[in-house]
Structure 1
Amino acid sequence: MSKTVVVLGGAYAGLHIVHALLKKNDKNVKVILVTKNSHLYWNMASVRAIIPGQFTDKDLFKPLADSLKRYPAESYELVIGSAEGADFDAKSVRITTAAGDRTIAYDQLVLATGSRTPSDDVPWKAHGSYEEAVALLQSTTDKVKAATHIVVAGSGPTGVEVAGELGYEFGKTKEIILISASDKLVNGDISAPAAANELKKLNVAIKYGAGVETTRPSAADPSKTEVVLKGGEVITTDLYLPTMGLVPNSEYVPAKYLTEKRLVDVDDFFRVQGTTNVWAAGDLVCKPRAGFMIAQKQAAGVAKNVELALADKEPLPVKGLPVDILGMAVGRGRGAGRLNSFRLPSIMVWLAKGRNMGMPMMAGYLDGTVA
């Protein structure tokens, strides 16, 4: 009897899982990929893409249809739409597409819808369709080019990378301020001093202990933004780029399967707690944390467990990374990071990430060799 696997989300984790299942060439299994974005968005490079002339849209966005056409047409379906509801008891998901609503039944379901930024005005994540993502990225690039004063809020890895890219390109011609709510970057990670030192070299001013309370248009000039800090200080800027926080794309998941932070609650097999045939991977899950390489390992484990479930076999615990690694590109020439408790030399982070923002890996995601 033919079985259906539905994968919700076509980014790093979801596409990895789809490729892994389709490569098995099981004629009794059909894989349905549901995604808002018709293209794979290499958002790891989004922090550099806001710098004019660094990447084209064709560099960063690749059609998922082209990625999947190597497989027999009857073995998969690509649905451009968004999940609006899921009934894990009835084994079905409700999808909204341009042609209308559709309910899809499944035998195995994978949740890989990832996360989004709290603000829909920044391009670090794809919030909606391909067209919307491209337009937002271009709009942000235009604003960066026109601005003479830029405030980057949030001193996590994304904030450090955004500030670093801006400093590398414009540190001598534009005023760039990085706002950190704490007294150290990256929440006090051991890589924080190195990151701060690299940003200083790029003429990025860092304002510590100054979380953002709110923002508002300037009364004197509505084209500018007033950034109100928690201590009451107001900074008027041409461009405000927030990088704080992630919001899980979990609205379609019944509340009882979510944690207090709206993340999907999974067991050691990355099966959704309280289910037998629903799995999850990537930024959407409750453990251990969001991260590109972490999602990759999770996707490999979930793909294997879906394969085992289809064969009526017991799942295996999903293994995480053997080491805890953090790497931040700080401009196009340097980097900062660590491997466990060992600080990595700038040149190592640059070679691994900063040199090309992982772009060479994109081909492997598209042709399935990563899976």
Structure 2
Amino acid sequence: MGISVPGLLNFRGDRWQVAADLLRSSARGSTAQADSLRAAADAMSKAWSDEIGAMIAERCRQQADVVEQQATTLPPLADALDAGAAQMQDLSTEMLKLVERAAAADVVVTDDGGARPAFDLGLLDPREAARRIAIANAVRAVATSILHRADLVDRRLATVLALALGLMAPPFDMGPLDLSDEALARAADLTTQGSTGYCAWVSPLMSLARSNPDFIRRRMVWDEDSQTYTVTLYDRDTGAPIQVSVDPRQLPEFPSNGMTQEPDFVSIYTQAMRQTYPDIDSSNFQLTGKIVLGKTYDEQTSREVPFDEIRDTLDTEPPGSAMVATTGAPEQQPDDVPAHKKLYGGHAYSVVGFTPDGQIILRNPHGPGSDSHTVTLTEDEYRRWINGVMTWPAQ
């Protein structure tokens, strides 16, 4: 975990907001520069009507398009910084209140989120000592949860900034995608489903890429001669393998990378599915399993599948995959639920893992632009707010 208790307590949101203001100012400057370049292009076209003048004018217009495109990426970054600063400030306040309550109960919160009684327990009778230890353990669980959420906000924002500023993931040039373990895991975190109804198609692919990237690589093969992908899907009725040729120059707008809007492995898989089954405009976990794996797995409920069973699925070697859905959940969430627990009704999520204090981590296929891209739930919340659960053993 990268963020410490002192680091979170000393967080200064105004520094992030200053950076956000500078990004917005830079966007305005870039827009003005693009306008100037286009005006110069028009002037050159009028001044030099020959071929050279036309070429120079066209080059100016192309440069204006590049500058304008760069300008459009900056305001969303500024908004992300503002939102991240607000979330971190809330977490800083939450940690401060916890530290103060812990001190009132004679519990010390350590820099790494640990907690211990402030005095020698040997001076107390065993029952009181046990009570003090229980209080310290409860404080530790809350502190580590706060630090984990702060770390998620920090890493998500760093990824967003790096992608948007061109520090990660080179532009897609219609050639083969990077299908390394790291690239597939990053794509799983950043993919955006786009079309309504595809959450139960996208979220299982996100889980599968994270747990078993070899499966994706074996079934999504680049052919250098034809400059296409051959994707292996399966007949939804018989389970027989189907080889589908996908031209990366003819991909749908979505799904795609949620920050760069460029294609990712989910884009390729989705196009293969659409070419094979043009009648499908939405999916469910069972149908996705039939098409992607060639196998049928039963969907269960959150009351039937405890956290330990999901952990076992994710912790096997090689690991399995898990995904959940809110459709038909026993309870509706209250309106004032915190952002890091906000779920959408009738929606599917990829299971990423568990926090140090035992909460399940879900990734929303709405992508990094969502107000609840990463969700954490206790087991009680999971039982009440989640309904459908699907686990796939290692493939």
> Could you say which TM-score interval applies, normalised by the shorter chain?
under 0.3
Bigger relative contact order, structure 1 or 2, given CA contacts below 8 A and separation 6+? 1
What TM-score comes out, normalization by structure 1 length?
Answer: 0.25
More helix by share: 2
